[in-house]
Homo-oligomer: A and B are copies of this chain.
Amino acid sequence: MDKRKKIISAAIAIFSKKGIEKTTISDIVDQAGIGQGTFYLYFSSKMALMPAIAEVLVEKMHGDLVKQIKPATLAEQMDEIIKVMFAFTKTYKDLNKLMYSGLTQTEHIKDWETIYAPVYQWMEELLASHQQAGSLREDLNVRYIAKILIGMIEAAAEQNYLFYDQDPALIAEYRNELKKFVNYAMAANS
């Protein structure tokens, strides 16, 4: 693994454990097993790591979605998407927090949309195919709906996993309502 990758992995590990603010460059280089100065050959500051980390994460989520979402009805696919994104949020909850914190606290915010683009793109295409198949309301603009859906599912997942340890039974109820809501909103025949 090259040094750059080592730094990113190390940073993800430490940020997850200690939070961004309490993590020092020293922590990162120790974890990465490289010298102090070496860090600066690859990144100009702690915050400059954020886009790289965000990219890794979003690629991971994109990969999960692509892998898990099989051809099926719109409702079934939305069900599965919600499942994948909830699972992802749960697994990487600490990193989700720091993606928000990290990206928002710097000028790297601009990179956000670029990083997210593949996921939006993927969702847009999925919705477009359903619209062509007549299973998604005709008058919805899939470009915007893709972003709305991703935003709302993430928000829902965060409400359940980020802020405190919700009772799994209540999460199931929540998810069920979310699915109904989404299905009513989109299904051509609802």
Interface residues, chain A, with chain B CB atoms under 8 Å away? 19-21, 47, 97-98, 100-101, 104-106, 109-110, 112-113, 137, 139-141, 144-145, 147-148, 151-152, 154-156, 158-159, 162-164, 173-174, 177-178, 180-182, 184-186, 190
Contacts and interface: CB of A to CB of B under 8 A. Distances in A.
Contacts of A112: 163-164
A130 to B, nearest CB: 15
11 contacts: A98-B104, A100-B101, A101-B104, A110-B163, A140-B177, A147-B156, A148-B155, A148-B178, A154-B155, A182-B185, A185-B185
Contacts of A147: 156, 159, 174
A164 B101 contact: no
How many copies of the polypeptide does the oligomer hold?
A: 4
Contacts of A21: 21, 47, 105
Nearest to A165: B110
Among A97, A139, A144, A164, which residue has the most Cβ atoms of chain B within 10 A?
A144
Contacts of A145: 177, 181
Contact of A101 (B105, B148, B174): B105
A85 to B, nearest CB: 12
Given A21-B21, A155-B152, A185 B174 contact: no
B101 A180 contact: no
A120 to B, nearest CB: 10
